Amino acid sequence: FNDWRGDAHALSARRDGSGIWEGFIAGLLAGTRYKYHVVSRHNGYRVDKADPFAVHAEVSPRTGSIVHDLAYEWHDGEWLDQRRGHNALDAPVSIYEVHLGSWRRVPGDGDRPLSYREIAHELADYCRDLGFTHVELLPVMEHPFYGSWGYQSLGYFAPTSRYGTPQDFMYLVDHLHQCGVGVILDWVPSHFPDDAHGLAYFDGTYLYEHQDPKKGYHPDWHSYIFNYGRHEVRAFLLSSALYWLDRYHVDGLRVDAVASMLYLDYGRKDGEWIPNEHGGKENLEAITFLRMLNEAVYRDHPDTQTIAEESTSWPMVSRPTHVGGLGFGMKWNMGWMHDTLKYFDLDPIHRKHHHDQLTFSIWYAFFENFVLSISHDEVVHGKGSMIGKMPGDDWQKFANLRALYAYMW
């Protein structure tokens, strides 16, 4: 609307000391592309940034934000009225994990992925035929690197434009609900990528992340860690979580990489991390944030669920905050997954010596509200397919896999 002239529509800082900048531009229509041109007084830093709160974005590799009206006429009232029963802890829940971009493609059209609207009908039919009660979508939040499957999120309020508009994604959720299928979103508050147009070094200072890389940089993932001690950062993330539950009617959030949030020494060697105020390795600020997150979700949307991917034995992950828990509704049972796959990997003739791998999980089965999970993490990075993990010839492999899924069910 102004030929991308950075000096054409200057924002001004509020006089309340909040650090918030604001401005008003008349006449902008839906579909207008925009960015923030940041001119910082720190080291002459100048950069074009996407709007962290944008609800729609350009298709990658373009990085602009788009003015968009989120109006949509929903038809899932019957599902929402009954959702508490579908999401209850004692309900028969069976979750199908899906990456929308690779689930099915269109060979006759350049092998492109299906759009949100195209996938809605096929996915609903597939889930109903196989008896799945919910789908769990790998992160749909806008992300610059397609190969991250969405786990390097930057657009915390925008469904990725790779498959359509926000209304198209609403249609996907709406149709699944009308077909009796719940929708859970993977949500990543644990870290964010270092792309120049994103959250990193936003105004020439460490705004969303910690200044000290021992607290603010993830060495394994080469990404930045949110500064959970800042009120503004907590508000940003809490707003994102509630936004998806409110505006998109999703039925739950599966919070990714919770262990990396809980431990200050996660993925770090001695001398690469800073202890908390008590000298321990627990990230007290992240613990406070996670409790705030779950309290907010269950206060505003008590018929939804939050699910933790927490790979350690942190206590009381799915216990209420008022008794000292983190407040999640459910937790992935990573220990059960590891032991069970290890057991089924064995030739049946040797399994009699390893039955403890099946029985051990009984000892802690009721410590948490566990979800038995076999996720995409178990079939990537050279780990092989599920059928490939099974011993024997083809007939035996399929028989073993049937036995595993029946045991899991």
Pairing, β 370-371 against β 330-332: parallel
Of the candidates 173, 214, 222, 172, the one whose C-alpha atom is nearest the C-alpha of residue 193 is: 222
Distance CA 315, CA 31 (A): 47
Q: What does the block give as tokens for 317?
A: 């992950």
Residue tagged 């690469």 (tokens):
272
Which DSSP category does 80 fall into?
A: H
Distances (CA, A) of 338 to 345, 372, 377, 386, 400: 11, 11, 11, 13, 16
Instruction: Please indicate whether residue 256 is annotated as part of the active site.
Output: yes
**Which of 97, 186, 256, 285 is the catalytic position?**
256
**Which of 309, 310, 339, 368 is the catalytic position?**
309
Q: H or E stretch including 363?
A: none
Instruction: Please indicate whether residue 309 is annotated as part of the active site.
Output: yes
What are residue 98's DSSP bridge partners? Answer: 137
Distance CA 326, CA 348 (A): 40
Q: Taking the chain, what is the end-to-end CA distance rounded to the nearest angstrom?
A: 56
Pairing, β 223-224 against β 217-218: antiparallel
CB–CB of 76/174 below 8 Å? yes
**DSSP H helical segments within 265-360, as ranges?**
284-300, 334-344, 356-359
DSSP string, 100-146: HHHH-EEGGGTTEEPPHHHHHHHHHHHHHHHT-SEEEEPP-EE-S-G
Distance CA 308, CA 290 (A): 10
DSSP string, 243-270: HHHHHS---EEEE--HHHHHBTTTT--T
| Residues labelled catalytic | 256, 309
